[in-house]
Amino acid sequence: MLCPSIWPLHVNEYIARSYRAYEDFFSSLHPLLQASGQPHCEEPVSLRVSGCDKLYGTHDGATFVCRCSADHCDTVEDFDDSEDGRNSVVYTSSKWEDRMTKETIAIQDIPQYPGIGYNIARVPMASTDFSTHEYSYDDVDGDFDLEHFALTEEDLVYKIPLIQEAQSLSQTEIKLFASPWSAPGWMKTNGQMRGGGMLHGSPGGRHYKTWAKYFARFFQEYEKQGVVFWSLTLQNEPISGLVPGYHFQSMYLGPNVSKEFIKKDLGPAMADRGYGDMKYMILDDQRMLLPGWAQMVLSDPDVTPYINGIAVHWYYDYISSARRLHETHELFPDYFIINSEACTGSTFLEGDDVILGSWERGEQYSYDIIEDFNNWVGAWVDWNLALDQQGGPNWASNYVDSPIIVDSVKDVFYKQPMFYHLGHFSKFVPPGSVRVDISSSRHTDLETLAFERPDGKTAAIFLNRSERSIPIHMTDARGGYICNEVPARGIQTYIW
């Protein structure tokens, strides 16, 4: 299975534009991303890190965000191996009080690095709804040789420098995968990037071969800038392309068309240009489409050599059993599964697009991560690393919430409960970890997840969505016993 890894980032132009707009932004991001210990700026900013500067949110007046500025930002206290003996380190977040507060209880501390360990990112190929406008890399009608293909300002000035900045700050490798939202309008049946439609013709035809070359050119141009990709998905939410008048960039690419496109066009074009080892992920849409989508594609032995994984989105998980993930793994155990997109605030049923301090939205993240990882998912990726206070920018007004909300006027950003919920997994479950069984001797309201880390340590996560604290008595078969309790509406990570 794929190494468990969580990097909730889609690299959009807004984050980079904000970065350029006020130069202290990345200095204040150091507590989040700095892994190397080396400051980004030539003259490093000195930060006070005494703890969360609470700003109570708009949701219920009881929960809060942690306010960060160029002068102050809370950090996650690191592991400490200075004491002898056997200790367990537990990090707690709760609705009313804690944000990854550390305490040590019987077993052993271990060293780690600052930040919360994001290590996988999804990079859009050209524009999405979270761009400031629609754009492709070749808008010249009939340019089948892609003579006019070129990266844009969004790539060269914003996305690529931001990716390189993140890579320079990370102690671990950041895996990048790319996803297109739509081909240029002139290649499509509806004549525009938005509004659904599909490519003209059929796989093997002129438009499909040009679209395959478009993929390869994207990777070539990014590689010229020093950015190399690990994987790709064929199409973001391909089913949305069947919806007439869909309100932002979309394109239909069904399972049968997908497999024909891969083996006739994309696979050969990528191999001819030196990307034969690129990992392809199919679907990139809701898990309710599994296992059927995978069965239709992976039943063809001519296409399977190109495919390594399956990508799913979380938006209808509440009506689609995680059993579908388990069934898919049972049918195709050699293919990894990742969650490639998630966000809250995307529907009117969820209330305001952005809710500062919503603990419930953080709980939704943790619950889905635990459910996914317990059903063979190997990575979980959020939609946006950071958005503005409206939940954008978004040219289609499709505003949503984000783990980090930026107030560029006040030169501060807010770390939402979602950020800390993600950190309970990403900081303590590094790539190479393997999920292990964790079971209860009686019925419990806790959601649980455990991993054996590459260093031989064990990480266990407990989520309590109930209104009462729950005692735990945890025994490791290798020896050792922990007695503690998970606070009401709380999440804890144990490492020993």
Active site residues: 237, 341
Phi-psi region of 376 (alpha: psi -120 to 50; beta: other; left: phi over 0): left
Strands 434-436, 446-452: pairing kind: antiparallel
- CA–CA dist 164, 182 (Å, integer): 25
Query: From CA 276, how far away is CA 294, in angstroms rounded?
Result: 21
Single out the residue of 334, 313, 329, 338 nearest to residue 3, CA to CA: 338
Can you tell me the distance from the alpha carbon of 62 to that of 357, in angstroms, rounded to the nearest whole number? 8
Tokens encoding 449: 């997840």
User: Are 482 and 106 spatial neighbours (Cβ–Cβ below 8 Å)?
Assistant: yes
